[in-house]
């Protein structure tokens, strides 16, 4: 039987690494699995973010990959063990130790506590020009990238609360915001819709879909071709930024049936804590957060998870 570790951390974004730093400093000798599921690079959503200007402590901005390299170095310097392996399967049946299987050979690891920090992924429209211009005017996070489009014309796609919230946020920064939705009415809550519709800077466009983002040849966004889904008419709208806000998918496939999840698939945690429905299993970062979704809030909940795990282990007879 394999050695039983104190704590295994699954996921290597800001939440996972902050959990690792705190757990290592509490002498828990944490083992982190940094997966390669997303585009073959560990480190989470910041690995596909160019400039980060809202992470406190970096007054002159930092790139997403540089920030994640710093997080990772800090975890290792504090004594965390980081293994680059995808987790294939977990057994989180109540009653520790828990089991995690990783890598091509499905190697088994056991731990008395587990911290889940597998994050979430933005949903994309999945058209070629969108992918080609990601990070060059196409973004899935207004709070992260809105400031690059100060006093410019931008477009946002989506009809849920995120799209409304991002449209309001962008309206405070940009010249105009064209809000494109594929149906006749928004899905968002009435309050959010009312706020958006009363905002003179936001122009809603219904029954429409993005046909193409211009201009791939130039390597920057100069406009968007919109297709009216009722008439099939295509019109070009001049914008310098396109924000896709059509939802996120939490990376919870591994945990379905083992932990309580919200209806939207995110892990349920007890309010004000990182505790999941299984004692000894903690969740942090975007895998349990569909409201804030920021690197700094992910880091904050990673810290909470390490402290909760440390206290839980202490209550089980120390470590």
Q: Residues in the site for ligand NDP, rule: CB under 6 A? A: 125, 157-163, 165, 182-183, 187, 246-248, 264, 290-291
CA-CA distance, 208 to 194, in Å (whole number)? Answer: 20
Q: What's CA 190's distance to the chain center, in Å?
A: 26
Which residue's CB is nearer to ligand NDP, number 47 or number 244? 244
Q: How many CB atoms lie within 10 A of CB 49?
A: 21
141 belongs to the catalytic site: yes
Number of H helices and number of E strands within the chain?
7, 19
Least distance to ligand NDP, CB of residue 169, Å: 11
Residues 110, 2: contact at Cβ < 8 Å? Answer: yes
Which residue's CB is nearer to ligand NDP, number 186 or number 255? 186
215 belongs to the catalytic site: no
Least distance to ligand NDP, CB of residue 123, Å: 6
Q: Which of 105, 145, 161, 194 is catalytic?
A: 145
Q: Which of 91, 105, 141, 174 is catalytic?
A: 141
CA-CA distance, 29 to 8, in Å (whole number)? Answer: 9
Instruction: Name the residue whose CB lies closest to ligand NDP.
Output: 160
CA-CA distance, 108 to 289, in Å (whole number)? Answer: 29
153 belongs to the catalytic site: no
Which residue's CB is nearer to ligand NDP, number 126 or number 231? 126
Which residue's CB is nearer to ligand NDP, number 21 or number 163? 163
How many residues in the chain?
319
Phi and psi angles of residue 40, each rounded to the nearest 5 degrees, phi first: 75, 10
With tokens 């088994």, the residue in question is: 108
Closest CA to 155 of 66, 228, 221, 67: 221
Least distance to ligand NDP, CB of residue 226, Å: 11
Least distance to ligand NDP, CB of residue 136, Å: 20
Q: What amino acid positions are annotated as catalytic residues?
A: 141, 144-145
């Amino acid at each position: 039987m394999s050695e039983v570790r104190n704590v295994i951390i699954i996921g290597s974004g800001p939440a996972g690494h902050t959990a690792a730093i705190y757990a290592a400093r509490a002498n828990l000798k944490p083992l982190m699995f940094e997966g390669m599921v997303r585009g073959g690079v560990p480190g989470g959503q910041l690995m596909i973010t160019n400039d980060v200007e809202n992470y406190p402590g970096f007054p002159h901005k930092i790139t997403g990959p540089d920030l994640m390299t710093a997080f990772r170095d800090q975890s290792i310097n504090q004594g965390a063990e980081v293994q680059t392996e995808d987790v294939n399967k977990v057994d989180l049946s109540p009653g520790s130790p828990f089991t995690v299987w990783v890598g091509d050979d499905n190697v088994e690891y056991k731990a008395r506590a587990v911290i889940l920090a597998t994050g979430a992924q933005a949903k994309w429209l999945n058209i070629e020009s969108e992918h080609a211009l990601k990070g060059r005017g196409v973004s899935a996070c207004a709070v992260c990238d809105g400031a690059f489009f100060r006093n410019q014309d931008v477009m946002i796609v989506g009809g849920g609360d995120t799209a409304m919230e991002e449209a309001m946020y962008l309206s405070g920064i940009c010249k105009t915001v064209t809000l494109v939705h594929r149906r006749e009415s928004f899905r968002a809550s009435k309050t959010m819709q009312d706020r958006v519709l009363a905002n003179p800077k936001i122009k809603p466009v219904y029954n429409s879909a993005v046909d193409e983002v211009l201009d791939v040849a130039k390597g920057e966004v100069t406009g968007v071709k919109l297709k009216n889904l009722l008439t099939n008419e295509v019109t070009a709208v001049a914008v310098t930024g396109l924000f896709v806000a059509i939802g996120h998918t939490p990376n919870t496939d591994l945990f379905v049936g083992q932990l309580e999840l919200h209806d939207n698939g995110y892990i349920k945690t007890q309010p004000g804590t990182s505790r999941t429905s299984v004692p000894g299993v903690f969740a942090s970062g975007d895998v349990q957060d569909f409201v804030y979704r920021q690197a700094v809030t992910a880091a904050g909940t990673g810290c909470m998870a390490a402290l909760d795990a440390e206290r839980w282990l202490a209550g089980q007879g120390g470590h």
